[in-house]
Amino acid sequence: MQKQLVLVLILLVSTVFAAQILKRTKDKTTSKLIKDHGYPAEDHRIETEDGNVLQAFRIPYSHKLQNQNKTRPIVLLQHGLMSSSDIWVLSGPDNALAYLLADSGFDVWIGNNRGNEYSLELKEPSWNFSWHEIGLYDISAMIDYALKTNGQGQKSIHYVGHSQGTTVFFTLMSLRPEYNQKIKTSHMLSPVAIMKNTKNECVVSAANFYTADGMLTSFNRDTKFLNIFRSKSNTFNERCVFLMDCYNMDKKLHSEHANKTAIKEADKISADGSWNQVLHYLFNHKSGYFRQFDYDSKKNLEVYKSKQPPEYPVEKITSEVHLWYVDNDDLVDPVDVLALADRLPNKVLHHIQEPIFGHADYTIHNDIRKYVNDPVINIMHKYELDKEK
């Protein structure tokens, strides 16, 4: 019986490995995907303050508008956890936000955070970062680089983030509040900060296993995240929990109204990153607070002068923050969104009235243009028109 169980586990592990290999088989970068639709595309190499190198992609103008000699407001799009710039173009020219923005007259920048498939030129120790460093250093570097490279003397940008792309925005704007002056409007698609009421089975289950002082955490901290079967832990019990609750978690986050072609392409995005990014979310869910990385009680005293990490002072985020949320998102509960909103001094709430809409649908839902993209672009246009008056 025990031998049969081991064989079953080996088979399951092998299946996941094979799926991961197939998942990463793709022959087109973000810029190639953009060029395939006739749009101009640029690749940019951006160095951060702490010595890491990021790759960003740009649609500088619209080939339909031929507006390369006109003023084009800057927009930065930032992907979610274990994703990449690809996600913003997979729905095609008629629906994907990157193309719609370009055709609306914007200078579109599509970012990649450190450690993902496009930004692997890492400073040692390579995987010793969470989304804290991504917010503090990566997002600030991309904002400054886009403003400088645009060449039109612009002082601020529009920002759109999905999932972790919202978390890193909150991180930067609360800890380096001077960057609020560089934001015109920001759009948080499924804003992840407070996670107290998260209902996702994977997150809830994993948070019970991973604690800041736990041995399982020590095995994975500061290492590359691929999947649970590639962790340094040899404890099959923990792996089985993840197998039940986390296998194909990304597919569970899509609704039945997600674009099937876009999902197929999204599955090819290499889910690279640091385990610390995942751990940071798990610790925040467990604590119920939006706070900095929880090392362990001893190191917390060294780093923070406190046994517990400090909360992010989101009250310092003075830029215009639009919070887009739905009821059927098991990672981001409306109660947590409203709790965050209560602390933000300059926010606008957008409750999307679509019952069949999941966490991942913000970029690949069949009606994403209706529910998110057109409304977001209209807000940006209104800002630009009001500024001209």
Give the tokens for residue 6.
């081991």
Which one from 140, 163, 174, 270 is the annotated catalytic residue? 163
- Check residue 136 and report its DSSP letter: I
Distance in angstroms (rounded) separating the CA atoms of residues 240 and 228: 10
Distance in angstroms (rounded) separating the CA atoms of residues 270 and 78: 16
- The runs of H, that is alpha helices, within 151-235 are 164-175, 201-209, 215-220
Distance in angstroms (rounded) separating the CA atoms of residues 171 and 122: 21
Give the tokens for residue 176.
């380096």
Nearest CA among 37, 97, 67 for reference residue 374: 97
Biggest CA–CA distance in the chain, Å, is 77
Half-sphere exposure of 264 (CA within 13 A, CB side): 3
Helices (H) and strands (E) in the chain, counts: 17, 10
Give the tokens for residue 22.
């197939």
Q: Please report, for residues 179, 189, 284, 289, 305, the alpha-carbon distance to residue 143 in angstroms, rounded to integers and kept in the order given.
A: 9, 19, 27, 27, 31
Burial class (CB in 10 A: 0-12, 13-18, 19+), 355: exposed
Active site residue 163: yes
Which residues are known catalytic residues? 163, 359
